[in-house]
Chains A and B, each alone.
Chain A
């Protein structure tokens, strides 16, 4: 996916030249507020879209938890012009930095977004860049805003969403590669390397602890989901949950549901699969923590239809957050959290 796509860069340089010519000819030349990044010609590829590297963005809008936390982690909190849609409390290290931000509980409209005059729109999920929301990435580029989707959620085409996620991108390595690329885009390479090193160390610690102690056939099955009106809403194969559970020494009980990230499944399906662990992924409030899962855990534990589930009889229905199943800077900590739950004997 990386790095420079020479042809795109060339065409960009060409259009920049054309623009310069046009400006000179019409002599309407109000000085552009920032140097055109295209002029430098270097790009990084993100989900099949070339993103200019030179001229680091100064006005970044971060949509969704993973993007907001990643922005803070990369040290560009002071460049954020707006943040939107947290799924849970931000990581402890960033509560101070986030407290100062302009925050929208839901995604703002395209117009509201553009009123902040962002030069970079960074989204934690692919659905921000659809016609129903901010508009496609190409349409934002026309207005001078580069954009980024965390690449474990790359849709096959700009403007598309979860239905077209490329499964090959749903890996922790994609997260690291993104952090490296974003470090280059924002001009904070060292910070990015540090974040990556910390995350790798956390995951490596888990891997080492598990190494040789959990045979493949002994890996517990884990369901990440929550009760819905029609059964359960669970994380399927293309969701980043699958990678988190895998690195934590478990198996996503619904990994074979691979058409979308989220699936509504019948209660009978849950009974049939009988997951060893159920992680209730509460969501979507800036104050949310895994402790907020208590009600839904009670609902599962008390459901007479679920009385025989291994997770229920063994008391292995635990609180979790939707934020912790998302790809981003908290994913390494999420791996450690899940490992601590499903292999509690090996972790203290």
Chain B
């Protein structure tokens, strides 16, 4: 999935003017200097913690911090205790894990393809994972997350390859907008296949809309624990890729001359993206736009250095996801808006802005 724009030095996409030569203007971001970036990151973590707390407190019933404390320190088995322990906290932890996975996989896709519109949601990877999981569940009868997460990985990988194959048709090769369009088309196709299976599965009626628009509402601790090793492996792999991605950003030739093994970076990135996007989708359904928006925000703040962009994205993405989830719980009470719908509301305009801005560069 990941490789492509870079393999075609003759065809920089329309949104990457000037192609391979970096560094470019504005390369430092709003926060310059390791001190500011570090302090800023600490502040971002504080915001994330605050949002996580809000996610535990805000819901059908608003709880107090004392309720949450009591649920663990002085558990009595009251309704409030059960809501905190078995609903709010698992949901919040799922938001943190899934958010981090989406943000980091967005960074990896954008970095290794040098495509500013890269996002596992936009490139069809999440939709592929969802379709494969649905096939595993409804056709093959797999019911545990551990059982279908493997299918999700496979679906993610196949969808990514399909999007690249479609996106690179034609004389101009795989430009960013072209890939994004191919991704949108494949996402629509895969999504309708998922709908068709889900709707035809008569036992389900529309209970499985979760697989069409992602949601954190069904999160439970056991599924989260099953997804965690894959997410952890993906995040570790991503952390190891920070330096090589910096080299890739310099262009293929320069990166090679610096001793970077491009195929290894691309392969490892692809593996990490499949792990992260596949596990996130298996746990929460396909959630779009977080992966495209957050890396841009991170770069705007700390510049192009992946050693900063990755941790910042890993913090900002779950913050965005949790905020979206909280909004979804509040706006249509007593029902809930799925978090995938909220992120689309916020993310779609951002995406259009990116496409329209010719000088997206920065990658």
Task: Give the residues in chain B near A226, CB-CB below 8 Å.
Answer: 207
The yes or no answer to A271 lying at the interface (CB within 8 A) is yes
The yes or no answer to B336 lying at the interface (CB within 8 A) is yes
Task: Give the residues in chain A near B334, CB-CB below 8 Å.
Answer: 257, 265-266, 269
Question: Is A308 within 8 A of B61, CB to CB?
Answer: no
Task: Give the residues in chain B near A264, CB-CB below 8 Å.
Answer: 207, 209, 335-336
Closest B-chain residue to A85, C-beta based? B202
The yes or no answer to A305 lying at the interface (CB within 8 A) is yes
Those of B181-236 within 8 Å (CB) of chain A = 200, 202-203, 205-211, 215, 217-218
Task: Give the residues in chain A near B83, CB-CB below 8 Å.
Answer: 268, 271, 305
Task: Give the residues in chain B near A285, CB-CB below 8 Å.
Answer: 202-203
Question: Is B210 within 8 A of A308, CB to CB?
Answer: no
Assuming A230-B336, A231-B217, A305-B83, is B203 touching A283 (CB within 8 A)?
yes
Question: Is B203 within 8 A of A284, CB to CB?
Answer: yes
Point out the residue from B82, B86, B200 that lies within 8 Å of A106, measured CB to CB: B200
Point out the residue from B79, B202, B209, B217 that lies within 8 Å of A266, measured CB to CB: B217
Complex-state Cα separation, A308 to B61, whole angstroms: 16
Task: Give the residues in chain B near A268, CB-CB below 8 Å.
Answer: 59-61, 83, 87
Closest B-chain residue to A322, C-beta based? B205
Task: Give the residues in chain A near B218, CB-CB below 8 Å.
Answer: 228-231
Complex-state Cα separation, A305 to B81, whole angstroms: 9
Question: Is A267 within 8 A of B207, CB to CB?
Answer: no
The yes or no answer to B78 lying at the interface (CB within 8 A) is yes
Complex-state Cα separation, A265 to B335, whole angstroms: 6
The yes or no answer to B259 lying at the interface (CB within 8 A) is no
CB of A278, distance to nearest CB on chain B (Å): 16
The yes or no answer to A105 lying at the interface (CB within 8 A) is yes
Task: Give the residues in chain A near B217, CB-CB below 8 Å.
Answer: 229-231, 266
Closest B-chain residue to A233, C-beta based? B207
The yes or no answer to B170 lying at the interface (CB within 8 A) is no
Task: Give the residues in chain A near B60, CB-CB below 8 Å.
Answer: 266, 268-269, 272
Size category of the binding interface on chain B: 20 to 34
The yes or no answer to A298 lying at the interface (CB within 8 A) is no
Assuming A105-B202, A230-B218, A271-B79, is B59 touching A266 (CB within 8 A)?
yes
The yes or no answer to B338 lying at the interface (CB within 8 A) is yes
Question: Is B203 within 8 A of A229, CB to CB?
Answer: no
Closest A-chain residue to B334, C-beta based? A269
Question: Is A283 within 8 A of B86, CB to CB?
Answer: no
The yes or no answer to A216 lying at the interface (CB within 8 A) is no
Interface centre among A226, A231, A233, A306, by most chain B C-beta atoms within 10 angstroms, is: A231
Complex-state Cα separation, A233 to B208, whole angstroms: 11
Those of A266-281 within 8 Å (CB) of chain B = 266-269, 271-272
What DSSP secondary structure best describes chain B's contact surface? loop
Point out the residue from A263, A265, A283, A308 that lies within 8 Å of B82, measured CB to CB: A308
The yes or no answer to B77 lying at the interface (CB within 8 A) is yes
Question: Is B82 within 8 A of A229, CB to CB?
Answer: no
Question: Is B336 within 8 A of A304, CB to CB?
Answer: no
Question: Is A308 within 8 A of B215, CB to CB?
Answer: no
Complex-state Cα separation, A264 to B202, whole angstroms: 17
Question: Is B86 within 8 A of A305, CB to CB?
Answer: yes
Question: Is B203 within 8 A of A308, CB to CB?
Answer: no
The yes or no answer to A20 lying at the interface (CB within 8 A) is no
Question: Is B335 within 8 A of A307, CB to CB?
Answer: no
CB of A330, distance to nearest CB on chain B (Å): 19
Those of A299-321 within 8 Å (CB) of chain B = 303-308
Those of B63-97 within 8 Å (CB) of chain A = 77-79, 82-83, 85-87
Closest B-chain residue to A263, C-beta based? B335
Complex-state Cα separation, A226 to B203, whole angstroms: 11
Task: Give the residues in chain A near B215, CB-CB below 8 Å.
Answer: 229-230
Those of B305-338 within 8 Å (CB) of chain A = 329, 334-336, 338
Assuming A230-B215, A268-B87, A304-B82, is B210 touching A283 (CB within 8 A)?
no
Task: Give the residues in chain B near A229, CB-CB below 8 Å.
Answer: 207-211, 215, 217-218
Complex-state Cα separation, A268 to B78, whole angstroms: 13
CB of A85, distance to nearest CB on chain B (Å): 8
Complex-state Cα separation, A303 to B83, whole angstroms: 11
Task: Give the residues in chain A near B87, CB-CB below 8 Å.
Answer: 267-268, 305
B 91-132 binary contact with A (CB < 8 Å = 1; else 0): 000000000000000000000000000000000000000000
Question: Is B79 within 8 A of A308, CB to CB?
Answer: yes
Closest A-chain residue to B208, C-beta based? A229
A 24-54 binary contact with B (CB < 8 Å = 1; else 0): 0000000000000000000000000000000
Task: Give the residues in chain A near B335, CB-CB below 8 Å.
Answer: 257, 263-266
Task: Give the residues in chain A near B211, CB-CB below 8 Å.
Answer: 229
Assuming A231-B217, A268-B87, is B202 touching A283 (CB within 8 A)?
yes
25 intermolecular pairs with C-beta atoms under 8 Å apart: A106-B200, A228-B207, A229-B209, A229-B215, A229-B217, A230-B217, A230-B338, A233-B205, A264-B336, A266-B59, A266-B60, A266-B335, A267-B87, A268-B59, A268-B87, A271-B79, A272-B61, A283-B202, A284-B202, A284-B203, A284-B205, A303-B86, A304-B82, A306-B82, A308-B78
Give chain B's interface residues, CB within 8 Å of chain A: 59-61, 77-79, 82-83, 85-87, 200, 202-203, 205-211, 215, 217-218, 329, 334-336, 338
Give chain A's interface residues, CB within 8 Å of chain B: 105-106, 226, 228-231, 233, 257, 263-269, 271-272, 282-285, 303-308
Sort A-B residue pairs by CB-CB distance and give the 9 closest, nearest first: A305-B86, A268-B60, A228-B207, A284-B202, A229-B210, A230-B217, A229-B218, A304-B86, A230-B218
Sample of 9 further A-B pairs with CB below 8 A, known A226-B207, A284-B203, A304-B86 = A106-B202, A233-B206, A263-B335, A266-B217, A268-B60, A268-B61, A284-B202, A307-B82, A308-B82
